[in-house]
Copies of this chain bind each other. A is one copy, B any other.
Amino acid sequence: MKRILDYCRKVNDMIIPLIEDLLSQCPEPLASASKYLILAGGKRLRPTLLLLAVRVSGGDVEKAIPAAVSIELLHNFTLIHDDVMDRDEMRRGVPTVHKIWGEPMAILAGDYLFSKAYEALLKLVENGIDYGSVVEATRVLTWAASTVAEGQSFDIEFQERDEVDEREYIELVWRKTAALFIASLKIGGIVSKASSETISLLEEYGYNMGIAFQIYDDILGVIADEKKLGKPLYSDIREGKKTIIVIHALSKANAEDREILLSALGKRDATIRELASAVEVLRRTGSIDYARRKATYYAKNAISKLNKIKSHDEEALEMLRELALFVVEREF
């Protein structure tokens, strides 16, 4: 596991100079507001996935760095806007962009990162990637951006509903979370001229790994060490998010427990006591354990896809396996 985390740090060091460069040309406070969240940290999972897909496909990691930058910029754009939409106040252990610069500047910083994601991707041309592959990669980035927006739209809509089933949850999370993993892997394959078979296996790995990641994220939201998590525990409950844990609990709880859970769900000013009672319901119904099993199921599915990929870079494949395990064992 140490190896993949070391590689994530190495990827961080590869992408930061170009990110600094892309975001330093604009006037203040836009420059600071758009750089801030990226520089506050992050695991760099998506650029790491992209560059591992390049390695698996026998491509040139150096040339693909602008694409890795692109996907990290797109990811941070979605986080900044999500935090505005959800009125979240902390992320990565620091106040969110809108808490510091206000909502208008946060919306703008997100928009700016969105455009800079494309600017970064188009730098592939200068790195000698052919026009056709750049267009294909741009298509995938665009697909990811609109798919994530669709997922976020489900998320908002589900918050207002009492009943959401697990199938709908999966529809939400593959869009909201897995799409960006899928795009990272596909773009890595495309710029490396991988076979369509390899690209589609990478895609299936990303789909399963992304869902595993989100389910585990839901779990961390109720069990993590708040300091390591970098944001308040239980905010999913306060916001009325229909996580897989909540969906399972609502379907299994007795009338009394259901009442306790529903009364805390979506209650912005719920007390710690009310939240703790709701989490007790999640435990009593076995819903946290259920989510753990589901996350592990998807992570194993992801790994099984990798096993079908033929690559000369066994180490890269091994790190992708480690990554799938990491996402369901991490503490943050």
A interface list, Cβ under 8 A from B: 26-30, 81, 84-86, 103-105, 107-108, 110-112, 114-116, 118-119, 122, 125, 130-132, 134-135, 138-139, 141-143, 145-146, 149-150, 152-154, 156-157
- Our pick among B111, B139, B153 for the contact of A114 (Cβ within 8 Å) is B111
Contact B104 A149 (CB under 8 A): no
Contact A138 B114 (CB under 8 A): no
CA distance A286 to B160 in the complex (A): 54
Q: Select from chain B the residue with minimum beta-carbon distance to A34.
A: B149
Kindly list chain B residues whose C-beta atoms are within 8 Å of the C-beta of A132: 131
Closest 8 CB pairs between A and B? A131-B131, A115-B145, A85-B104, A30-B153, A115-B146, A118-B142, A112-B149, A131-B132
- Is A139's CB under 8 angstroms from B122's CB? yes
- Check B142 against A135 for contact (C-beta < 8 Å): no
Judged by DSSP, the binding face of A is helix
A111 to B85, CA, bound (A): 12
**Given A111-B114, A135-B135: A29 and B119 interface contact (C-beta under 8 Å):** no
Additional 18 contacts, C-beta under 8 A, given A118-B138, A119-B146:
A27-B154, A27-B157, A28-B157, A30-B150, A81-B107, A84-B103, A85-B104, A105-B156, A108-B156, A111-B114, A111-B149, A114-B145, A115-B149, A119-B143, A122-B139, A131-B135, A135-B135, A138-B138
A27-B150, A116-B146 known; A107-B107 Cβ under 8 A: yes
* Max chain B C-beta neighbours (<10 A), residue from A103, A112, A134, A146: A146
How many whole Å from A35's CB to the nearest CB in chain B? 13
Kindly report which residue of chain B lies nearest to residue A131, judged by CB atoms: B131
Q: Is there an interface contact between A107 and B84, defined as CB atoms closer than 8 Å?
A: yes
Cβ contacts A to B, 11 pairs, < 8 Å = A26-B153, A85-B104, A107-B107, A108-B156, A111-B111, A111-B149, A115-B149, A118-B145, A122-B135, A122-B142, A135-B138
Which residue from B29, B138, B145 sits with its C-beta under 8 Å from A111? B145
Tell me the smallest distance from the CB of A73 to a CB of chain B, in Å. Answer: 11
For the complex, what is the distance from the CA of A29 to the CA of B153, rounded to whole Å?
8
A30 to chain B: which residues have CB within 8 Å? 149-150, 153
